[in-house]
């Protein structure tokens, strides 16, 4: 009976929202007051004996607010700071991840509930998902990333992934506090960023690449203009002068798509002091390499299982740009354009750590880019390797003593 009453109240609230032309995502205070009005009216009618009392009014208010202004049954997981990711395989199979480990939740949804939730999530992004566009990437208002795939790409049910934006670290000192890297490695990386070295952040899914990129960006000198390019907005760069761009999917007519490669090209026309690319996956890597090779400092992430694999991937992805792009051009360009690779991984206990920091001295031997170990992980410890980064003159111009930062190696 209680559930039936709450459902009826929800319909009343939605009708009033429509009449008053409120936007639940923007007019939260007005929606809260409206819910209070509806509950007051219900209580008055219950006192007259016409309706069953609601019981816990505060719990009913919370459920109504989550349903009309939040994301319904998923809202408690979105509010839970220990939940890193939420995904729906089937309406009755809702999973969450805590500390990197998946858990099957007791939440049961219907097919219609899943579709309604997706529609509500996409409303603020302006993106869509339908038979002509069965995939969609979008950002939620809190910065979390939404990915949806629908049938007939999936077998039967809508597949929904929400990767929450959990602010665990704002700068490199936070990563030291969390045990992701040592103070010595953090000092070196901060100096490398300030000196204008080009840095590639590598790792697997959920390894912490975006968080690391945000922390590295915090070390960018405040006078620099930063231009960011992403598939969907995820980076949170707190610079004074930032221009952020994201991709756009094609419209109903199949036109108007803006891919990442176009963003990288446009970024060069926006007077960047530094370019930051959320993730390189395809031919946009060629445009990024050309930009870095022209003297523009930059950073990006790439999926890879080691620093060496990240370098190899950067040598092969640009070949997707066309048959006129050859390895003879790409390999030496990678060697001269990428200065450092920071590789991250997730331990079995869910902790994300820097596993190695590798430098590219700029030399190529038999189509293989040479690397030098700056920091390597030995057991649980990130220790100094025997290599040195390129461009010691840039460190000196930025006021950093490379010998003090790294010692003798």
CATH number of 172-406: 3.40.50.300
Closest among 109, 69, 305, 108 to 205, alpha carbons compared: 305
Mean pLDDT of all residues in 70-87: 88
Q: Is pLDDT at 311 greater than 70 in this prediction?
A: yes
Which sign does the torsion angle of CA 167, 173, 175, 178 carry? negative
The answer to whether residues 226 and 241 touch, using CB atoms and an 8 Å cutoff, is yes
Mean pLDDT of all residues in 210-220: 94
Q: Is pLDDT at 49 greater than 80 in this prediction?
A: no
Q: From start to end of 92-212, where are the E strands?
A: 93-98, 101-104, 135-139, 145-149, 159-163, 199-203
* Residues above pLDDT 70, as percent of the chain: 98
Q: Which long-range contacts (C-beta less than 8 Å, at least 24 apart) are formed by 373-379? A: 374/188, 374/340, 374/406, 375/181, 375/182, 375/184, 375/185, 375/188, 377/353
Q: Quote the pLDDT of residue 32.
A: 84
Give how far Cα 355 sits from Cα of 352, 372, 388, Å. 9, 14, 17
Q: How confident is the model at residue 167 (pLDDT cuts 50, 70, 90)?
A: low
Strand partners, 159: 149
3-state SS, residue 133: strand
The string of pLDDT tens digits covering residues 231-264 is 988 898 888 899 999 998 887 777 888 999 999 9
50's tokens: 């016409």
- DSSP state letters, 323-371: TT--HHHHHHHHHHH--EEEEEEE-TTS-EEEEEEEE--S-EETTEE--
Domains 74-163 and 172-406 share a fold: no
* Residues above pLDDT 90, as percent of the chain: 55
Q: How confident is the model at residue 128 (pLDDT cuts 50, 70, 90)?
A: confident
269's tokens: 């026309």
Give how far Cα 114 sits from Cα of 10, 84, 134, 174, Å. 17, 20, 15, 37
Please give the Cα distance from 94 to 317 (Å, whole number): 35
110's tokens: 């219907």
Question: How many residues appear in the chain?
Answer: 409
Task: Report which listed range, 55-69, 166-180, 192-206, is most confident.
Answer: 192-206
The string of pLDDT tens digits covering residues 340-396 is 999 999 888 778 899 999 999 999 988 899 999 999 999 888 999 999 999 999 999
Stretch among 129-133, 190-194, 276-280, 379-383 having the lowest mean pLDDT: 129-133
Q: Is pLDDT at 290 greater than 50 in this prediction?
A: yes
Task: Report which listed range, 63-67, 74-78, 315-319, 345-349, is most confident.
Answer: 315-319
Q: Is pLDDT at 177 greater than 50 in this prediction?
A: yes
- For residue 390, the Cα-to-chain-centroid distance in whole angstroms is 30
Mean pLDDT of all residues in 125-153: 87
Provide the residue ranges of all domains of the chain, joining segments of one domain with +: 2-69, 74-163, 172-406
Give how far Cα 386 sits from Cα of 188, 389, 391, 409, Å. 14, 10, 17, 4
Top CATH class, 74-163: alpha beta
Q: From start to end of 239-351, where are the E strands?
A: 242-246, 274-277, 298-303, 340-346
3-state SS, residue 291: helix
Q: Quote the pLDDT of residue 50.
A: 66
The answer to whether residues 58 and 20 touch, using CB atoms and an 8 Å cutoff, is no
Q: Which residues contact 59 (CB under 8 A, 6 or more apart)?
A: none
Q: Quote the pLDDT of residue 1.
A: 44
Q: Is pLDDT at 192 greater than 80 in this prediction?
A: yes
């Amino acid at each position: 009976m209680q559930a039936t009453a709450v459902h009826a109240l929800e319909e009343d609230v939605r009708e009033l929202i429509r009449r008053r032309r409120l936007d639940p995502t923007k007019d939260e205070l007005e929606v809260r007051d409206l819910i209070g009005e509806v509950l007051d009216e219900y209580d008055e009618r219950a006192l007259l004996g016409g309706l069953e009392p609601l019981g816990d009014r505060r719990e009913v208010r919370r459920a109504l607010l989550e349903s009309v202004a939040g994301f319904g049954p998923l809202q408690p997981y979105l509010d839970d700071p220990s939940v890193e990711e939420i995904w729906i395989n089937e309406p009755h199979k809702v999973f969450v991840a805590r500390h990197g480990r998946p858990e099957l939740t007791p939440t049961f949804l219907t097919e219609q509930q899943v579709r309604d939730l997706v529609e509500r999530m996409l409303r603020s992004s302006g993106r869509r998902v339908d038979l002509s566009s069965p995939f969609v990437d979008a950002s939620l208002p809190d910065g979390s990333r939404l990915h949806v795939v629908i049938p007939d790409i999936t077998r039967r049910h809508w597949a929904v992934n929400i990767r929450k934006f959990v602010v665990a670290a704002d700068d490199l000192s936070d990563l030291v506090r969390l045990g992701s890297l040592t103070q010595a490695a953090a000092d070196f990386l901060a100096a490398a960023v300030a000196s204008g070295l080009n840095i590639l952040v590598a790792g697997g899914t959920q390894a912490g690449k975006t968080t690391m990129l945000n922390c590295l960006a915090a070390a960018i000198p405040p006078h620099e203009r930063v231009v960011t390019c992403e598939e969907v907005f995820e980076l949170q760069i707190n610079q004074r002068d930032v221009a952020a761009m994201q991709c756009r999917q094609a419209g109903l007519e199949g036109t108007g798509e803006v891919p990442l490669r176009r963003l990288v090209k446009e970024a060069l026309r926006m007077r960047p002091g530094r370019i930051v690319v959320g993730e390189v996956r395809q031919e946009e890597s060629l445009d990024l390499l050309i930009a870095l090779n022209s003297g523009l400092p930059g950073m990006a992430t790439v999926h890879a299982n080691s620093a060496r694999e990240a370098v190899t991937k950067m040598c092969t992805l640009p070949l997707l740009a066309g048959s006129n792009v050859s390895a003879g051009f790409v390999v030496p360009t990678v060697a001269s354009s990428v200065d450092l690779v920071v590789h991250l991984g997730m331990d079995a206990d869910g902790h994300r750590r820097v596993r190695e920091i590798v430098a590219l001295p700029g030399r190529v031997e038999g189509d293989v880019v040479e690397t030098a170990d700056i920091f390597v992980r030995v057991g649980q410890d990130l220790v100094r390797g025997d290599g040195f980064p390129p461009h010691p003159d840039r460190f000196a111009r930025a006021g950093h003593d490379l010998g003090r930062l790294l010692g003798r190696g």
